[in-house]
Structure 1
Amino acid sequence: MLGECVADAFVTAADIGGLGLRVRPGGGPANTAAALARLGTPTRFLGRLSADVFGRLFRTRLTDAGVDLDAVVEAAEPSTLAVADVDDRGRADYSFHAQGTADWQWTDTELARAARAPLACLHTGSLALVRAPGDAAVERLAAAVRARATVSLDPNVRPLLVEPARYRERLARWCAVTDVLRLSDEDLAHLLPGTPLPRAAETFHAWGARLVVVTLGERGAYASLDGRGVRVAAPAVAVADTVGAGDAFMAGFLHALHGGGALGGRLDGLDEAAVRSALARGVEVAAAVCTVRGADLPRTGPA
């Protein structure tokens, strides 16, 4: 699992003249790593973690979830902070404080050292793919590990921080080295606006991605394996917020693929039944995360 850790600060009620902030560890790749390890899949996190108060929070969260931190780089830069304002429907609007922070400073040497151990799947995405100076190094690593691992990518478009055009100009290049491409319906609206799901999947397949997955919130999830479409519904739950739901989906999805022996190469032998089962597991895990505040699985969530 390669990418950023972000301190998610949620706005809360406070005394007159001020705001309260409740800080939880987040970041898309870190969320997925924590959930995947909690589900029982061996998970290593490749991240640059600061020694500041938030970096210590990230380490505690990932260690408690059972994530292997042996590949973590000890970073001198500060941690990334995101302030989340959650509306009455549980949807969060973010403002980011990410200039010069630890997550984006990857070098080729650091990544080569971090990814030296055996791996079946490299999952990456989000801001680490588009924030300089480390973004190019992350792309080069994804291309390099294809010889020995499945590559999974989640763009996780953040239009308030990075112009969607930057994602669009790189997406074909990413697909060329990606086996599994996961997007939300909101991501798709930024990347291929107005394009129906099957047609969007055809585009991504043409660029090289074998398995395209689009999460649809309360409407479930859709996948296309080499052009063969599969769709599942989402379970109905009482939503506390949707923070980390897409990341949790990906954890459940990859957990199912790993359990079925599908990871480690170019998804050879994967069929529509296995994709449907993985989608169902993904929406189950995402729904469990939606029942609590923040991005972590509830302790009573799916195991």
Structure 2
Amino acid sequence: MTARVAVVGEVLVDLLWRTGSPEARAVPGGSPANVAVGLSRLERPVTLLTSWGDDPPGALVDAHLAGTGLDVRRLPTSGPAKTTVALAYLGEDGSAHYDFLTSWAPAELHLPDDTTVLHTGSLAVAVEPGATRVLELGRRQRALGRLVVADLNVRPAVRPDRAEYRALAERLAGVVAVLKASDEDLGWLYPDLDPAEAAEALRALGPELVVVTRGAAGAFALTAEHRVDVPAPAVTVVDTVGAGDAFQAALLDDLAGRGTVPLDPATLTEVLRRCVRCAALTCAREGADPPTRARLDAPE
């Protein structure tokens, strides 16, 4: 298992505030960082390219990343670096809603030479000036023949202008080979379309594959010729933090292993079933705590 995934994007501190609790709990996270941890647990070679500040939240991030065993490249920034802080409000059903204090301004983006797949998304493609630099990186890497993958992970609190965010998503769709979004992402971006219509609108802009997660309803994938749907396994949900990132880690692990985008229905069904299982196992644990390869691939 030598094919490497390079993950470009934010690491941050989540302040988890559960309904009814008088206190928040600080937990290091961030979608790209969670994806990188998930890939590492799946025993996939992975490098995380990210940045954080020399501030109290940054000290927590620094200790967290040191404990993961990840290959981390701390990017130089254009201007003073600050650590992004996310306020995550947890409902009684375990669902999370976010607000952000953001900083994302990488000055240089150089991938490891053995990179097979580039993954990005979330704040890294929404917060300037880093977003434009990441999109440019994606264009260059796809031109070189590398698989470029993104997770929209829409954050309206960061870009509340719907038309502006939709334009950003459509630019991103024109860069990547594989695009993942949740039905909530698509519902916010395209309130007049159902998730399948919105996914098809994005697929028509360039991706070979668009994958849509639907929480407890499972996931579906669209290619130019096929649609594949899979249900989610039933689990007792502790919270949903990191579930989408665990799904994405399993998807990237498969893409890196194949070196190509799976397009036939039988293969896509197999891939999606593993991804939804990875997400479900994460929902059964507190916080962004994705499974190991042995746990994911154990008989059900």
The answer, yes or no, to whether TM exceeds 0.5 is yes
Aligned equivalent of 2:4? none
Look up the SS of the partner of 1:136 in the other structure: helix
Q: How far apart are 1:118 and its partner, in Å? A: 2.4
Look up the SS of the partner of 2:227 in the other structure: strand
Aligned equivalent of 1:135? 131
Aligned equivalent of 1:235? 233
Aligned equivalent of 2:37? 34
Q: Which has the larger displacement, 169-178 or 194-203?
A: 194-203
| CA distance 1:271–1:63, change in 2 (3 Å) | farther
1:150-189 pair list within 5 angstroms: 150-163=147-160, 164-189=162-187
Are 1:230 and 1:272, in contact at CA under 8 Å, matched by a contact in 2? yes
Are 2:116 and 2:259, in contact at CA under 8 Å, matched by a contact in 1? no
Query: Counterparts of 1:161 and 1:64 in 2: how far apart (Å)?
Result: 29
1:291 paired residue among 260, 284, 294: 284
Query: Counterparts of 1:13 and 1:192 in 2: how far apart (Å)?
Result: 29
Aligned equivalent of 1:95? 99
* 1:68 and 2:71 are equivalent in the alignment: yes
Q: How far apart are 1:26 and its partner, in Å? A: 1.1
Query: Counterparts of 1:38 and 1:212 in 2: how far apart (Å)?
Result: 25
* 1:5 and 2:2 are equivalent in the alignment: no
Are 1:8 and 1:23, in contact at CA under 8 Å, matched by a contact in 2? yes
Are 2:127 and 2:158, in contact at CA under 8 Å, matched by a contact in 1? no
Aligned equivalent of 2:145? 148
Query: Counterparts of 2:59 and 2:113 in 1: how far apart (Å)?
Result: 24
> What are structure 1's unaligned runs of at least 5 residues?
none
Look up the SS of the partner of 2:135 in the other structure: helix
| CA distance 1:271–1:67, change in 2 (3 Å) | farther
Are 2:42 and 2:291, in contact at CA under 8 Å, matched by a contact in 1? no
2:271 paired residue among 274, 278, 282: 278
Q: How far apart are 1:73 and its partner, in Å? A: 1.8
* 1:106 and 2:106 are equivalent in the alignment: yes
Q: How far apart are 1:234 and its partner, in Å? A: 0.4
Query: Counterparts of 1:258 and 1:298 in 2: how far apart (Å)?
Result: 18
Normalised to the residue count of structure 2, the TM-score between the two structures is 0.88
Query: Counterparts of 1:32 and 1:105 in 2: how far apart (Å)?
Result: 20
> What are structure 2's unaligned runs of at least 5 residues?
1-6
Normalised to the residue count of structure 1, the TM-score between the two structures is 0.87
Aligned equivalent of 1:302? 296
Q: How far apart are 1:48 and its partner, in Å? A: 1.1
Q: Deviations over 1:243-268 (max 9, x none)?
A: 11111111111212323x134xxx3x
Q: How far apart are 1:135 and its partner, in Å? A: 1.4
Q: Which amino acid aligns with 2:153?
A: N
